[in-house]
Amino acid sequence: MPNLTGQFGTDLLNFYQANALWINLLVLAYGAWVVLSWINLKNIRKVLLLSLLDQLRPQVDPESGKVVRKKDGSALIIPWESAIGQAHFPFIARQSALLPRRVSIETAQAMLPEKYLVAEAVRILQPTQKKKAP
Protein backbone atom coordinates (compact mmCIF):
# COMPACT_ATOMS: atom_id res chain seq x y z
CA MET A 1 0.00 0.00 0.00
CA PRO A 2 2.78 2.53 0.66
CA ASN A 3 3.77 2.19 -2.99
CA LEU A 4 0.32 3.33 -4.14
CA THR A 5 -0.29 6.20 -1.74
CA GLY A 6 3.20 7.42 -1.00
CA GLN A 7 4.31 9.02 2.23
CA PHE A 8 1.23 11.25 2.49
CA GLY A 9 -1.13 8.26 2.28
CA THR A 10 0.80 6.38 4.93
CA ASP A 11 0.78 9.41 7.24
CA LEU A 12 -2.97 9.89 6.66
CA LEU A 13 -3.66 6.23 7.46
CA ASN A 14 -1.58 6.44 10.64
CA PHE A 15 -3.44 9.60 11.70
CA TYR A 16 -6.81 7.93 11.09
CA GLN A 17 -5.84 4.81 13.01
CA ALA A 18 -4.66 6.92 15.95
CA ASN A 19 -7.83 9.07 16.00
CA ALA A 20 -10.48 6.74 14.54
CA LEU A 21 -12.81 6.97 17.53
CA TRP A 22 -12.99 10.78 17.45
CA ILE A 23 -13.26 10.97 13.68
CA ASN A 24 -16.07 8.40 13.60
CA LEU A 25 -17.91 10.11 16.47
CA LEU A 26 -17.72 13.41 14.59
CA VAL A 27 -19.13 11.80 11.43
CA LEU A 28 -21.88 10.11 13.45
CA ALA A 29 -22.81 13.37 15.21
CA TYR A 30 -22.97 15.21 11.87
CA GLY A 31 -25.21 12.48 10.44
CA ALA A 32 -27.55 12.65 13.43
CA TRP A 33 -27.66 16.47 13.14
CA VAL A 34 -28.66 16.30 9.48
CA VAL A 35 -31.25 13.55 9.97
CA LEU A 36 -32.87 15.36 12.90
CA SER A 37 -33.03 18.50 10.75
CA TRP A 38 -34.77 16.56 7.97
CA ILE A 39 -37.29 15.14 10.42
CA ASN A 40 -37.90 18.60 11.86
CA LEU A 41 -38.71 20.08 8.44
CA LYS A 42 -40.99 17.12 7.70
CA ASN A 43 -42.90 17.73 10.95
CA ILE A 44 -43.26 21.46 10.23
CA ARG A 45 -44.58 20.61 6.75
CA LYS A 46 -47.05 18.16 8.28
CA VAL A 47 -48.41 20.78 10.70
CA LEU A 48 -48.81 23.31 7.90
CA LEU A 49 -50.54 20.81 5.61
CA LEU A 50 -52.98 19.77 8.34
CA SER A 51 -53.87 23.41 8.93
CA LEU A 52 -54.40 23.99 5.20
CA LEU A 53 -56.50 20.84 4.91
CA ASP A 54 -58.73 22.03 7.76
CA GLN A 55 -59.23 25.35 5.98
CA LEU A 56 -59.84 23.84 2.53
CA ARG A 57 -62.03 20.92 3.54
CA PRO A 58 -65.71 21.66 2.86
CA GLN A 59 -67.73 21.87 6.03
CA VAL A 60 -71.28 20.53 6.02
CA ASP A 61 -74.06 22.00 8.16
CA PRO A 62 -75.51 19.06 10.12
CA GLU A 63 -79.09 20.42 10.00
CA SER A 64 -79.40 21.34 6.33
CA GLY A 65 -76.71 19.10 4.88
CA LYS A 66 -75.38 21.97 2.76
CA VAL A 67 -71.79 23.07 2.43
CA VAL A 68 -71.28 25.99 4.80
CA ARG A 69 -67.89 27.20 3.70
CA LYS A 70 -65.21 26.25 1.30
CA LYS A 71 -62.19 28.45 0.90
CA ASP A 72 -60.10 28.76 -2.18
CA GLY A 73 -56.36 29.37 -2.11
CA SER A 74 -56.67 33.16 -1.90
CA ALA A 75 -58.06 33.36 1.66
CA LEU A 76 -55.85 30.81 3.37
CA ILE A 77 -53.96 31.52 6.55
CA ILE A 78 -50.72 29.61 6.95
CA PRO A 79 -49.75 29.37 10.64
CA TRP A 80 -45.98 29.68 10.33
CA GLU A 81 -45.48 30.79 13.95
CA SER A 82 -47.34 27.85 15.49
CA ALA A 83 -45.66 25.36 13.15
CA ILE A 84 -42.21 26.73 14.02
CA GLY A 85 -43.19 26.76 17.70
CA GLN A 86 -43.89 23.03 17.58
CA ALA A 87 -40.43 22.27 16.23
CA HIS A 88 -38.48 20.05 18.60
CA PHE A 89 -35.04 20.68 17.11
CA PRO A 90 -33.45 24.08 16.38
CA PHE A 91 -32.41 23.26 12.79
CA ILE A 92 -34.16 22.36 9.53
CA ALA A 93 -32.85 21.05 6.23
CA ARG A 94 -34.07 19.64 2.96
CA GLN A 95 -33.00 16.09 2.24
CA SER A 96 -30.56 17.29 -0.41
CA ALA A 97 -28.93 19.83 1.91
CA LEU A 98 -25.54 19.18 3.43
CA LEU A 99 -25.73 22.00 5.96
CA PRO A 100 -28.87 22.49 8.10
CA ARG A 101 -30.13 25.99 8.82
CA ARG A 102 -31.46 27.50 12.02
CA VAL A 103 -35.25 27.34 12.37
CA SER A 104 -36.98 30.63 11.58
CA ILE A 105 -40.06 31.69 9.70
CA GLU A 106 -37.94 32.96 6.82
CA THR A 107 -36.01 29.72 6.38
CA ALA A 108 -39.17 27.64 6.66
CA GLN A 109 -40.88 29.82 4.04
CA ALA A 110 -37.86 29.46 1.76
CA MET A 111 -37.86 25.67 2.10
CA LEU A 112 -41.65 25.26 2.01
CA PRO A 113 -43.10 27.73 -0.52
CA GLU A 114 -46.77 28.60 0.00
CA LYS A 115 -47.85 27.69 -3.51
CA TYR A 116 -46.47 24.16 -3.15
CA LEU A 117 -48.10 23.67 0.24
CA VAL A 118 -51.48 24.81 -1.10
CA ALA A 119 -51.10 22.67 -4.23
CA GLU A 120 -50.28 19.64 -2.10
CA ALA A 121 -53.30 20.25 0.16
CA VAL A 122 -55.60 20.60 -2.86
CA ARG A 123 -54.15 17.41 -4.37
CA ILE A 124 -54.82 15.52 -1.14
CA LEU A 125 -58.44 16.70 -1.04
CA GLN A 126 -59.22 15.83 -4.64
CA PRO A 127 -60.98 12.49 -4.96
CA THR A 128 -58.95 9.85 -6.65
CA GLN A 129 -60.28 8.99 -10.07
CA LYS A 130 -60.62 5.28 -10.64
CA LYS A 131 -60.14 4.02 -14.14
CA LYS A 132 -63.06 2.05 -15.49
CA ALA A 133 -62.25 -1.38 -16.74
CA PRO A 134 -63.28 -1.94 -20.36
Q: Is there a contact between 100 and 33 (Cβ–Cβ < 8 Å)?
A: yes
Report CA-CA distances (Å) from 74 to 70, 71, 93.
11, 8, 28
Look at residue 117 in the predicted model and tell me its pLDDT: 94
Conformation bin of residue 6: beta by default, left when phi > 0, alpha when psi is -120 to 50: left
For residues 4-28, average pLDDT? 94
**What is the pLDDT, as a whole number, of residue 74?**
57
More reliable by pLDDT, 98 or 65: 98
Q: Estimate to the nearest angstrom the gap between the alpha carbon of 126 and the chain centroid.
A: 23
- The residue with greater pLDDT, 118 or 2, is 118
Q: Distance between CA 98 and CA 64 in Å, rounded? A: 54
What gap in Å lies between CA 123 and CA 69, rounded to an integer? 19
126 versus 87: the higher-pLDDT residue is 87
Count how many residues are written for the chain: 134
Q: Of all residues in the chain, what percent carry a pLDDT higher than 70?
A: 81
What are the extents of the domains in the chain?
A: 35-125
- pLDDT at position 104, please? 95
Mean pLDDT across 8-17: 93
